């Protein structure tokens, strides 16, 4: 596996994952509320979707990117509405008791699927990859070859997944047991309000007001 392309992909994956956004807030809140497994599954869904968009750019799949961008408005509206729904749920949720936490801990696939769909609902990500690749002179498509493109995509996935592993592990391992139920109520409300804000922003952009 070509080392340079892998390292570039690793850096791209980290660059996409680290900035605090709705997925980061969901990962933090769920790591506090439900523990490491749910928190990491939340981030891992975004990592898989990021890698998918990276593959579209790296392999030069212009037909796929054109299709996604043609549907970006309904995708943005659906993603924004979903974020608002998640934000309202976070705002209203009381701190969980141990039995409820144990029950939710059996549903990492749901957490994974939610954030994968939310990330897919932002097809502008593929343009971010195209711009990054072009700006740094990274060859894509037939010019790069299948091996180099695969190394790039694997790097993107591992860079993103590595960040979510550290974030979920740190929050669940260090902070989770130090917060009182009263503190968790305010964490839920703050995260819920911010996620609702991200949802409203996504809808506003989807209708062309931003």
CB-count exposure of residue 170 (10 Å: 0-12, 13-18, 19+): middle
Which of residues 45 and 33 earns the better pLDDT score?
A: 45
Neighbours of 175 (CB within 10 A): 14
Find where tokens 């995708």 sit: 75
68-95, pLDDT tens digit by residue? 677 778 888 888 898 899 889 888 877 6
Separation of alpha carbons 160 and 13, rounded Å:
4
Q: Is residue 177 helix, strand or coil?
A: helix
141-184, pLDDT tens digit by residue? 555 567 877 888 899 999 999 999 999 999 998 888 888 788 88
pTM for the full predicted model: 0.79
Q: Report the pLDDT value the prediction gives residue 134, as an integer from 0 to 100.
A: 63
Give the domain ranges of the chain: 3-15+22-206
């Amino acid at each position: 596996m070509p080392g340079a392309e892998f390292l570039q992909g690793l850096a791209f994956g980290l660059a996409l994952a680290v900035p605090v956004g709705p997925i980061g807030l969901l990962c933090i809140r769920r790591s506090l509320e439900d523990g490491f497994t749910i928190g990491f599954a939340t981030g891992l869904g975004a990592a898989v979707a990021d890698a998918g968009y990276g593959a579209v750019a790296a392999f030069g799949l212009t037909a796929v990117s054109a299709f996604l961008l043609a549907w970006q408005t309904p995708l943005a509206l659906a993603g924004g509405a979903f974020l608002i729904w998640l934000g309202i749920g976070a705002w209203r949720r009381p701190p969980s008791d141990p039995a409820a936490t144990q029950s939710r801990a059996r549903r990492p696939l749901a957490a994974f699927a939610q954030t994968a769909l939310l990330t897919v609902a932002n097809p502008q990500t593929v343009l971010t990859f195209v711009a990054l690749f072009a700006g740094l002179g990274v060859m894509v498509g037939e010019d790069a070859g299948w091996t180099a493109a695969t190394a790039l995509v694997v790097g993107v996935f591992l860079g993103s997944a590595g960040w979510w592993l550290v974030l979920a592990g740190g929050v669940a391992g260090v902070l989770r047991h130090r917060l009182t139920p009263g503190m968790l109520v305010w964490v839920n409300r703050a995260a819920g309000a911010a996620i609702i804000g991200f949802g409203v922003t996504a809808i506003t952009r989807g209708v062309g007001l931003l």
